[in-house]
């Protein structure tokens, strides 16, 4: 039987003879990196790592673009995930009876890769996403990849899609890890098989507003999460129910929806795509992550930066009345970044907040983006360099 190592060598050999000389150098560079993942056998890129894939980097939004590679691995219930493989980006095959399709047994994550001014490729705290996926998997009765496997998979996928990482300052490569029950199951139960995969897309601003302040609508009819539910984990089932209130709010000209707690309809919780913060004087507050609120990686990072910058930061229950009285309001999330809120509309009343260059949200945004993009020294061990 031919070993995987030999198979990889054969592949390399046949490519040596079939590639044009200009592409051989590119392939060797790619292959030397890929060889550290010797278990993988995948079709190498016919593009150089630095070849522009034809993207208009100045006009990136948050849209799906088909890129070169995705990562995938499977696991049978009760076992560990196999060594994953990179393959050409494309559709996957699923049984119509897959757990994720029928009972929503699935989780997703979001993390970004950046290109620094001096050409380094940087990831931001990917192990935090790995930890969150692990916690979510426990809640959703799914096996999860180990922290190392998750981070390694993120690195491999980012490197394989290097040419899709926007130039410094133009955006980022959004990596979307997915964990799903892929095995077939008819009665309600945990699926017998699971897929962990990662796909990517270059992205710019999440909101069509760009860097302009957001206008939020306080949702009173629909809830995002309830006590004992899954609001605190990144379950795929948390998001589709939010489409109705989101679509309604957008059709009325709002950027997004701010949810209240489902019991009292009095405490602010989360925006459909991100966490929320308020500022009053020197005090910054965000709803405590008590099970109904997703503990965002950006949220966590902003709390640390704000404390370091001398602000008093509180994680606690926050009434809608407190928000109305705030000096500043801002949102945080991987996709969203740090976004200032210009107005919140509640019970027909539009309340406006301070925005602009001399705000605390701008100060925090500048520090966080500086660290992520390698402009500010990372003294917290948040940055993972991958190239």
Catalytic residues: 234
Q: Does residue 368 touch ligand COI according to CB under 6 A?
A: no
Beta bridge partners of 71: 86, 198
Q: How far apart are CA 361 and CA 337, in angstroms?
A: 11
303 in Cβ contact with 356 (< 8 Å): no
Joined together, the tokens standing for residue 293 give 């609120």
- Complex with ligand COI: residue 34 or 113, whichever CB lies closer: 113
Q: How far is the CB of 350 from ligand COI (least distance, A)?
A: 25
Position closest to ligand COI via CB = 110
Q: Does residue 235 touch ligand COI according to CB under 6 A?
A: no
Q: How far apart are CA 41 and CA 254, in angstroms?
A: 47
- Complex with ligand COI: residue 110 or 145, whichever CB lies closer: 110
> Of these, 334, 355, 359, 367, which contacts ligand COI (CB under 6 A)?
334
Q: How far apart are CA 344 and CA 312, in angstroms?
A: 24
- Complex with ligand COI: residue 34 or 112, whichever CB lies closer: 112
Q: Which of these segments, 215-223, 243-251, 329-337, 343-351, binds ligand COI (CB under 6 A)?
A: 329-337
Q: Helices marked H in the chain — which ranges?
A: 4-18, 21-34, 99-103, 126-139, 147-160, 243-251, 297-308, 320-324, 360-372
Q: How far apart are CA 324 and CA 320, in angstroms?
A: 6
Joined together, the tokens standing for residue 299 give 């949220």
Joined together, the tokens standing for residue 197 give 């995969």
- Complex with ligand COI: residue 332 or 359, whichever CB lies closer: 332
- Complex with ligand COI: residue 27 or 174, whichever CB lies closer: 174
> Of these, 106, 126, 245, 333, which contacts ligand COI (CB under 6 A)?
333
Q: Which of these segments, 250-258, 307-315, 334-342, 350-358, binds ligand COI (CB under 6 A)?
A: 334-342
Count of residues interacting with ligand COI (CB under 6 A):
6
Q: How far is the CB of 193 from ligand COI (least distance, A)?
A: 25
End-to-end CA distance of the chain: 35
Residues 101-120 that bind ligand COI (CB under 6 A): 110
Residue 319 DSSP class: B
DSSP-assigned states of every residue in 355-370: -STTSHHHHHHHHHHH
Strand pairing class (275-280; 214-219): unpaired
Q: 71 φ, ψ to 5°?
A: -115, 145
Joined together, the tokens standing for residue 216 give 């939020």
Q: Which of these segments, 165-173, 331-339, 356-364, 367-375, binds ligand COI (CB under 6 A)?
A: 331-339
Q: Which of these segments, 42-50, 142-150, 278-286, 333-341, binds ligand COI (CB under 6 A)?
A: 333-341
Q: Does residue 233 touch ligand COI according to CB under 6 A?
A: no
Binding site for ligand COI (CB under 6 A): 110, 273, 333-336
């Amino acid at each position: 039987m031919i070993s995987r190592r030999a198979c990889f060598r054969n592949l390399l050999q046949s490519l040596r003879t079939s590639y044009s000389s200009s592409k051989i150098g590119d392939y060797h560079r790619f292959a030397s990196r890929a060889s550290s993942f010797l278990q993988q056998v995948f079709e190498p890129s016919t593009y150089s790592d630095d070849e522009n894939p034809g993207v208009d980097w100045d006009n990136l939004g948050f849209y799906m673009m088909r890129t070169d590679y995705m990562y995938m691995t499977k696991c049978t219930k009760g076992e560990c995930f196999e060594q994953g493989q990179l393959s050409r980006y494309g559709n996957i095959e699923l049984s119509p009876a897959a757990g994720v399709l029928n009972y929503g047994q699935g989780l997703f994550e979001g993390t970004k890769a950046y290109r620094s001014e001096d050409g380094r490729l940087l990831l931001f705290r990917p192990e935090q996403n790995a930890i969150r996926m692990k916690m979510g998997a426990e809640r959703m009765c799914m096996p999860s990849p180990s922290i190392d496997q998750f981070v390694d998979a993120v690195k491999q996928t980012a490197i394989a899609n290097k040419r899709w990482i926007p130039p410094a300052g133009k955006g980022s490569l959004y990596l979307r890890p997915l964990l799903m029950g892929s095995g077939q199951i008819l009665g309600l139960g945990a699926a017998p098989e699971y897929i962990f995969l990662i796909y990517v897309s270059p992205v710019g601003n999440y909101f069509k507003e760009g860097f302009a302040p957001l206008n939020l609508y306080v949702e009173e009819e629909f809830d995002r999460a309830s006590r004992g539910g899954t609001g605190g984990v990144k379950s795929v089932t948390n998001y589709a129910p939010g489409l109705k209130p989101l679509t309604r709010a957008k059709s009325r000209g709002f950027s997004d929806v701010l949810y209240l707690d489902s019991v009292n309809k009095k405490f602010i919780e989360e925006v459909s795509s991100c966490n929320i913060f308020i500022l009053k004087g020197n005090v910054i507050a965000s709803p405590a992550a008590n099970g109904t609120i997703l503990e965002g990686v950006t949220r966590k990072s902003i709390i640390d930066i704000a404390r370091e910058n001398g602000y008093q930061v509180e994680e606690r229950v926050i009434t809608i009345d407190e928000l109305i009285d705030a000096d500043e309001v801002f949102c945080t999330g991987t996709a969203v970044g740090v976004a200032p809120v210009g107005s919140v509309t509640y019970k027909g009343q539009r309340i406006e907040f301070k925005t602009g260059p001399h705000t605390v949200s701008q100060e925090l945004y500048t520090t966080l983006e500086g660290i992520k993009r390698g402009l500010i020294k990372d003294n917290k061990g948040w940055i993972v360099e991958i190239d």
